[in-house]
Structure 1
Amino acid sequence: MAEQDPRTPLPPVAPTRAAPPASVPAQRYPQPLWPRNLRNWTMVWYRNFMVWKKLAVPSMIGNLADPMIYLFGLGLGLGMLVGHVSGVSYIAFLAAGTTASSVMMSASFEAMYSAFSRMHVQRTWEAIMHAPLTLGDVVLGEIAWAASKAVLSGTAIMLVAGVLGYAHWSGMLPALAVIALAGLAFAGLATIVTALAPSYDFFMFYQTLAMTPMLLLSGVFFPLEQLPSAVQAAAKALPLAHAVALIRPLLLGWPLQGAWLHVAVLAAYALAALLVSLMLLRRRLLR
């Protein structure tokens, strides 16, 4: 058989088509649902911090204006009529309660309005989850960020109260730990509301039906013992009542009673809210 001349061009070869890949069910977000590890969520926290840092001053003023108005408006005004409550001046009594209520307000508003904007309007969560992060990383980072803002707000109220002589400096460090735990609990509860919210208007239901009753029934403005026994029993199931029961004795130098019970209730709220919000957000974002 004669060998082919190497200078002779080879005949064209018809292009072959690769076999189409087997169909794979589309997954919109990375799996698993839970946080991938103990550090990925910090990237979400850091991203929110970098955005907040650009508007830190007006944000802090907005978070502090409402509790400061309560503290000085009611504290000085009603203090002239009430005098002393439980052995301390009314404004000192109110300062400790306002510290706890500011934690609830700051954590809730951040986990509702700001988180809803990032999730639904700006679709920032969807963009983040194209990186090697799970939905659990994003939710945990958002809750931790909302709790961080609550710590900032509560710390500012404590410092003002301490400078004016309405709080003991020695109790502020353990109170800071309580503020962080309460911030996680309130941020988790607000994240549940965010998972259910179709629009910003939905948050008014939570503010009116949950936050306002907690503010009025948890001992922020007056001793819880003055309420009827049935109302006291209902109030003791609210997370704000347990936060007040821990923060007020620490700031006023009173002995703590049932501290482990209050801590356990706040921790249970924080953990249960995280789990429920994860399940609700998975159903919302993957449907």
Structure 2
Amino acid sequence: MPHNDLRTPPTLMQRLLAVWFRHFRVYTKNLISNGLPPFLEPLVYLVGIGLGLGAYIRTMNGVPYINYLASGLLVSTAMFTATFECSFGTFIRLEFDKVYDGMLTAPITVNNLLVGEIFWAGSKGFFFTFAVMVIIAVTGVFPIGRIYPVPLIGFLTGVMFATLALFITSFVKNINHFNFLFSGFISPMFFFSGVFFPLDRLPAWVRPIAEALPLTHTVRLSRAICFAQPDKFLLFDLAYSLLFSAVFGFFAVRRLKHRLVD
């Protein structure tokens, strides 16, 4: 390599990919224990809830209940993995392992580091959604030829919840406080975002709250792909998801930047 190339600073994409690749290498060191659960967890839901509850609820909104459930589970798994990655995972790297201190000695900025974190969480959302898609296709719930674009919605879901989790992490001083995030917000959202039943089954005063929840919008996008039912309202869902990611990402990076520099 020419001598002047050694002094050429890495491009923005190279810096972001360096952060992504670092997390990828750590994740794949325990590939079986990390990669197998995403394929097993949807089986538990599909068998335990889809088949069990499906024996009593034959259809939901005119489709078999197991199909209705599966179309929501595709992206809800991305929510959980991205939130965990950028809450507990980020906090451990920040406060206990001091990983970021070492990473910032490389030619990357704090912004590069945090944006790389977000894209890594989005990639995990893509992979977890892909894993659920494989199980759903193998079990014959949906044909793979119809639902193959859904992992892209999983990526969007992962990015969205990564920005939210990073924003929360910027305030947290004790790792145990994340229990409030999961028990008080993420888990209730799982049940009130249209994964298990339509929002119009909720009381009138609860529906606006459910519509404001971020998971609601990517579940709707996923379901539209699964049932091949495009709707102009889906543009609002997409815009909401992108705007949510941009706003929370901006404030998360801004707050964590001060914390890392200090």
TM superposition score normalised by structure 2: 0.91
Does residue 54 (structure 1) correspond to residue 29 (structure 2)? The answer is yes
Q: Which amino acid aligns with 2:76?
A: S
- 1:209 paired residue number: 184
Query: What is the match of residue 6 of structure 2?
Result: none
Give the equivalent residue in structure 1 for 2:19: 44
Identify the residue that residue 233 of structure 1 maps to in structure 2. 208
| Counterpart residue number, 2:133 | 158
When you count helix as a share of all residues, which structure comes out higher?
2
Partner of 1:98: 73
Say which of 266, 269, 279 aligns to 2:244.
269
Contact 2:111 2:257 in 1 (8 A): no
**Correspondence for 1:110 among 74, 85, 98:** 85
Closer, same or farther in 2 for the Cα pair 1:168/1:254, shift >3 Å?
Answer: farther
Matches within 5 A, 1:1-287: 37-287=12-262
Higher mean C-alpha deviation, range 87-96 or range 59-68: 59-68
Q: CA deviation at 1:260?
A: 1.1
**In structure 2, distance between residues paired with 1:198 and 1:190:** 14
Q: 2-side partners of 1:213 and 1:43: how far apart? A: 35
Instruction: Please state whether the residue corresponding to 2:117 is helix, strand or coil.
Output: helix
The one-letter code matched in structure 2 to 1:42 is L
Contact 2:146–2:226 (8 Å) recurs in 1: yes
User: What's the CA shift for 1:178?
Assistant: 1.6
Q: Is the 8 A contact 1:63 1:106 kept in 2?
A: no
Looking at CA atoms only, which structure, 1 or 2, has the larger radius of gyration?
1
Secondary structure of 1:280 counterpart: helix
Q: Secondary structure of 1:82's partner?
A: coil
Deviation at 1:230, TM superposition (A): 2.2
Q: What is the alpha-carbon distance in structure 2 between the residues aligned to residue 173 and residue 52 of structure 1?
A: 24
Pairwise CA distance, 1:233: 1.3
Residues 112-139 of structure 1: CA deviation (Å, up to 9, x unaligned):
1222211111111111111111111110
Contact 1:147/1:180 (<8 A) preserved: yes
Query: How well do the aligned residues superpose, as a CA RMSD in angstroms?
Result: 1.8
Distance between the aligned counterparts of 1:280 and 1:273, measured in 2? 11
Task: Give the conservation status (yes or no) of the 8 Å contact 1:168–1:251.
Answer: no
Task: Find the aligned partners of 2:62 and 2:140 in 1 and give their Cα distance.
Answer: 15
How far off its partner does 1:185 sit? 0.3
User: Offset of 1:256 from its aligned partner?
Assistant: 3.3
Deviation at 1:63, TM superposition (A): 4.0
Per-residue CA deviation, residues 34-73 of structure 1 (Å, 9 max, x unaligned), is xx83431110000111111111110123445444322221
One-letter amino acid of the structure 2 residue matched with residue 151 of structure 1:
F
TM-score, normalised relative to structure 1:
0.83
User: Does the C-alpha gap of structure 1 residues 63 and 192 become closer, same or farther in structure 2, counting only changes over 3 Å?
Assistant: farther
Q: Provide the rounded CA distance (Å) in 1 between the counterparts of 2:164 and 2:259.
A: 17
Identical amino acids, percent of aligned pairs? 31
SS at match of 1:40: helix
Question: Which ranges in structure 1 are unaligned for 5 or more consecutive residues?
Answer: 1-35
Structure 2: gaps spanning 5 or more residues: 1-10
Q: What's the offset of the Cα at 1:170?
A: 3.3
